[in-house]
A and B are shown apart, each in its own frame.
Chain A
Amino acid sequence: MSNRAGTRKPPGSASSGSAWAFIAFPLLIVFLFTALPTVVGAGLSLFEWTGSGLPRFIGLQNYAAAFGEAAFWQALRNTLIFAILTVPLTVVLAFLIAVALEAPWVRGRTLLRTIFFLPTIVSIVAIGFIWRWVLDPTPAGLLNHVLIAVGIPHATLPDWLGNTPWGLATIVFVSIWRGVGFSIVLYLAALTNVPRSLYDAAAVDGAGAFQTMWHVTRPGVQPMSFFLLITGMIGALQVFDLVLVMIGTNQQAWTDVLNLYLYREFAANRLGYAAALGVVVLLLTIAVTALQFVLHRDPTSMAATTRAGGRNRPIAATASRGAGAGTS
């Protein structure tokens, strides 16, 4: 895959024992805290285990139990709705904003880029504080306060973080708010690699701004769009901490997500059951990754690939979680 550079053997570079000295410890860390726990976790999903004592083998009973729980299906449904709403909306919005930010006649582009990126760097805990404050269900909550001020009676306002589809919609909105800057910055990099000549040709043909955007810019950054969709989906399937800091760990039919469910089971020392839920997330991730290869097999579609848009990128981006084990 991404081994293109690696296969080019450096001419004359000596085979090296020190290579092992350089890689041994880093690989040990990755093995101990990522690879091994994944394999053990998958195995653990076939056991009943509280974390102490001996695990008891129960076959597929954890899965059977999960599939029999309404809570599981609710969490799965919410996770999928979240992913399917958040990711395309983020990508489309980021594309439009990035195209606008690329236009030389827009004032304050650097400032705007910084502002759009700001939520990405802020601690999830602070984000939870801020949005619980803004969305507080009492009339004093900031959003409610504004809506009441413009004449909407408080009684008709939903509980923005409550157990209704509004709660899920809120999570989607805040997630887009938080993540769009990341996609914008990547789009900006991709945009600089769309050949100038294509824009010139479009101008000669008399194409307007929107036609140019649709017929030149959009196909030009298509690999990046694809990359953002796939990595976005993989990330969205892992949605967890945003819900945790905004709503808490309690089970609500409309705001529960798979990983919150998993976390509750983990906290209750039902490690085998939690592991089974983890395997479900893993299988969904694998499905999305497989989709990438099915949809993206045509190598010529990579022609417009930017430095930032190579084939290996989807893997690179999912890695952030490896880089910071549950960053965000």
Chain B
Amino acid sequence: MTHSRPPLILRCVVHVVLYALAITMLLPFLWMVSTSLKTRGEAIAADTVSLIPGGAPWEWQWGNYAAAWEKANLGDFYWNSIFVAVVVTVLSVLHNALAGFAFAKLRFRGRQALFLALLTTMMLPFQVYFIFAYVLCGWLGYIDHYQALIVPFLASAFGIFYMRQAVAGIPDELLEAGRIDGFTDFELFWHIVAPAIRPAIAALGIFTFMASWNNFFWPLIVIDSNDMYTLPLAVAALAGEYYTDSWPEQMAAATIITVPMLIVFLIFQRAFVEGLTMTGVKG
């Protein structure tokens, strides 16, 4: 397929189909943005489908963003989401990398058995364990506190597995050289292992950040009070009982929640895609 150029007609058809599909992927997002800039009237009138909001740019309804932001108090929830995502990302990547290093390069009793047990936990469906995890968080007094959003995510079986695969690729000679220099195990990790697996760390970091930022179900059950909402909860509530039935305002909120991930994705796209192909994580 890659060597001989197929006939012109086939190449045309492939282009048409590919771009038609790509537009299908993109169109809902374009609609989201364009609707967020319309008046309520425009959003439900004959204008619905037009991708260009009515009026010239200076008449676009940027006020929808302000309205969504104010009504749902998104400023506070932005902070909640960022705080949780950053803490979880930094700490869990560190913990997972240390554990991955231990499983890949250090010898200790029960290593194989523990690692196998860890792998097994990865196939467990969330639905079977969230019930008692929730009860446990209640017993620990975490419900409605940052702890509920952070502590269960401070390490993950997948993260450990991923880091172990990355560390396993480091030549043992490198570690031996460090040992001869008198490095402790932690110094080995810090000065040799961590720099060597930087791409994997970046990829895992992005995955973790994205998972935390987009996490919806777990915050939904462990957070009750309004001021502890994360961004997805706040935005979901915006559509629900509380704030607005205005489509443009809802689309503005959807845009607000999407843009940060989009920026992160576009900046780190390479690491992101490479990380994905390395282990097949499903976000």
Contact = CB atoms under 8 A, between A and B. Distances in A.
A121 B251 contact: no
Nearest to A109: B18
Contact of A34 (B14, B121, B211): B121
Interface stretch (B58-66, B171-179, B194-202): B171-179
Contacts of B175: 10, 13
Interface string B105-140: 111100110111111011111111111110110100
Contacts of A177: 24-25, 28
Interface string A70-105: 000000000000000000000000000101111111
A38 B129 contact: yes
B157 A328 contact: no
Contacts of B266: 114
- Chain A binding site: helix, strand, loop or mixed by DSSP? helix
Given A115-B26, A126-B258, A185 B48 contact: no
Contact of A112 (B22, B112, B160, B279): B22
Contacts of B78: none
B283 A23 contact: no
A124 interface: yes
Contacts of A291: none
Interface in A211-234: 212-213, 216-217, 227, 231, 234
A142 B31 contact: yes
A57 interface: no
A130 B127 contact: no
B67 to A, nearest CB: 15
Contacts of A117: 273
Interface of A: 1-3, 5-7, 9-20, 22-23, 25-27, 29-30, 32-38, 40-42, 44, 51, 97, 99-107, 112-126, 128-134, 140, 142, 145-146, 149, 177, 181-182, 185-186, 188-189, 199-200, 203, 208-209, 212-213, 216-217, 227, 231, 234-235, 237-238, 240-241, 244-245, 258-259, 262, 266, 271, 274-275, 277-279, 281-282, 285, 289, 307-308, 312-328
Contacts of B250: 129, 133
A209 B160 CA distance: 42
B258 A13 contact: no
Residue in B124, B208, B221 whose Cβ sees the most chain A Cβ within 10 Å: B124
A240 B282 contact: no
Given A245-B236, A289-B123, A23 B103 contact: yes
